[in-house]
Structure 1
């Protein structure tokens, strides 16, 4: 399989006439409250659905935002109404200075009185055993850990480099550190880990962890996507119900959905009555109408949609002498945000970027 080249996508040109100030709202009147920031496009894993085994072709390190630039851009978004920032990668724990960055971000004020920026993170868990406690002390609010299998051999095959024991130890360390709510993300793959769905949920629920299942998405022009491996969210829930002898009903109470794209379900009956499960179903249960997110790559490119290649160049704006350029780029990108993604079940319609380059 050839290396995936990180191609420069088309960029949204900042319009000098774009209106500044006020909440961040796209042309569909969706308000942005949630920002995902990739700290690096490098990863110590090579998960089969995320990154080619040989890796990616990277640009110069000078293209990567400095930690000071990350703080500046998050401070600006907080002024514009963002209340939650999720740190992603690649693998964010590979970024030097992570703990001090979390401390600085968690101290930033938001537009809501007396509320500080909520800082959360998604990680593969490989380095959590040593980092969970320092991150919690620095102000990290909650954590999501990727966990695609409880079988060591199978886990090694899907991550190509990972060690299951270290990840499970990392989850335990995060629990002891009080990083709640603690969630696990599992990419459900037909013919690979579909026989483990109930076991993964049982493992999570026994530890007061919220399990979430993600449908495969055709990133990287569909290069890593096999249509027959897609496991629809409805089937995922049905298998969990059968395996754990419980019913799953929509959990629609106030504040249940959270800031992200997951829909949540609550177990009714059986040994795990009241426990919660999430599904993220970009292909079969589209959630674009409620999208409240923007993404920033490690190189400072603003992505209004995970499934599109259109970007706004925040790095150049941050490094310019124009104090308003950053805001113009952001609002110009929002003004061209599409109604929905273009993912198709057959693997077409996705972006050229790989998942690892934007952090999901």
Structure 2
């Protein structure tokens, strides 16, 4: 597929960065209510404001024609969307170099095998605590045992790589960093530790109170294991490190302490069809309007995406002092 991509059809922004990676949100709904992601009493989008699975498939198809090599399905929780396996099957047929999904793991016990059979290559599973009570406090309603069962089901299904994602919050779960590393080592998983991103007004805590930098997390890990930088490239923002005695890799996603904007190759499409050019800005284009105005013609959608690259900003401006510049919650942003 990508051998047919010419410079004229590549997605390149004003700063010379080529977009090769798209995150597609398939729903804003979730069966958890994680404290850093959404409000406890969420109001979700009406059905007519949400892209259909067919519309999401059209967007994925056009992006692959424009040189995108990686697509990740996100949410909310993507596996609570009815019919999502049909979408996975369609996108899995597009010839992507990498096709992945971010999930909370709750639905994997009964869906992992079907996802693998449909063409999904990799999974990221969000897991912030190994203490059942603490896990429930962070997720508000999540069942840790079900998530651990889901991780085992994914391992048995034979995915290429499975990675844990842990948002580290000081005073909440920073005391579990080494426990999470041990779980990854024991089960042959990778793990990324993520600095909390200031998206949406939350009531559980102030973000300056819980901010824990990637450097702090790395210092904790190196009390037990020496970390060496690797050359691993996944098209995402993680910077990976290896341990001498394990195949598991440890990644750090550091939007505050080590800004990764300089080589950003990503855009996001929200479930309501907004093409977000940056996680930390509101620069966006309405793709849903184009999709529904031209239901049988992808050329207007294609041109809209190409033109939107000029809106991609040079960098985001996250702060750690509790100031929230972006009012949308992470579940509406899409992973």
CA RMSD of aligned residues (A): 1.6
State the distance in 1 between where 2:311 and 2:272 align.
21
Equivalent runs, 1:333-352 vs 2, <5 Å: 333-348=308-323, 350-352=325-327
Q: Distance in 1 between matches of 2:37 and 2:206?
A: 9
**Paired position in structure 1 for 2:4:** none
The answer to whether the Cα contact below 8 Å between 1:221 and 1:350 also exists between their aligned partners in 2 is: no
Secondary structure, aligned partner of 1:108: coil
Which residue matches 1:247?
A: 226
- Match for residue 237 of structure 1 among 215, 218, 233: 218
Query: For 1:89 and 1:320, how far apart are their aligned partners in 2?
Result: 25
TM-score by length of 1: 0.87
Distance, in Å, in 1 between the alignment partners of 2:202 and 2:130 is 27
> How far is the alpha carbon of 1:349 from its aligned partner?
5.5
CA–CA separation in structure 1 for the residues paired with 2:61 and 2:171: 44
The answer (yes or no) to whether the contact 1:205–1:211 under 8 Å persists in 2 is no
2:79 paired residue number: 93
- Cα deviation, 1:45-64, whole Å, max 9, x if unaligned, reads 10000001111x33421111
For structure 1, the 5+ residue unaligned runs are: 1-19, 110-115
Tell me the distance in 2 between the aligned counterparts of 1:296 and 1:352: 17
- Candidates 236, 239, 245, aligned match of 1:263: 239
- The farther-off stretch of 97-106 and 125-134 is 97-106
Partners of 2:317 and 2:213 in 1: how far apart? Answer: 17
User: Could you say which residue in structure 1 is the equivalent of 2:301?
Assistant: 326
Report whether the alignment pairs 1:39 with 2:26.
yes
Instruction: Report the CA distance between 1:70 and its aligned residue.
Output: 1.0
Quickly say closer, same or farther: Cα 1:250–1:72, change in 2 above 3 A: same
**Alpha-carbon distance in structure 2 between the residues aligned to 1:41 and 1:190:** 27
For 2:222, what is the secondary structure of its paired residue? Answer: helix
CA distance in 2, matches of 1:323, 1:72: 8
Cα distance in 2, alignment partners of residues 108 and 123 from structure 1: 21
Equivalent residue number for residue 249 of structure 2: 276
TM-score (normalised: structure 2): 0.93
Question: Partner of 1:155 in structure 2?
Answer: 135
Q: What's 2:174 paired with?
A: 194
**Of 187, 191, 211, the match for 1:207:** 187
Output the CA distance in 1 between the equivalents of 2:143 and 2:44.
25
Measured after TM superposition, the shift of residue 331 of structure 1 is 2.4
Deviation at 1:324, TM superposition (A): 3.2
**Greater share of helix residues, 1 or 2?**
2
1:267 Cα deviation after fit: 1.5
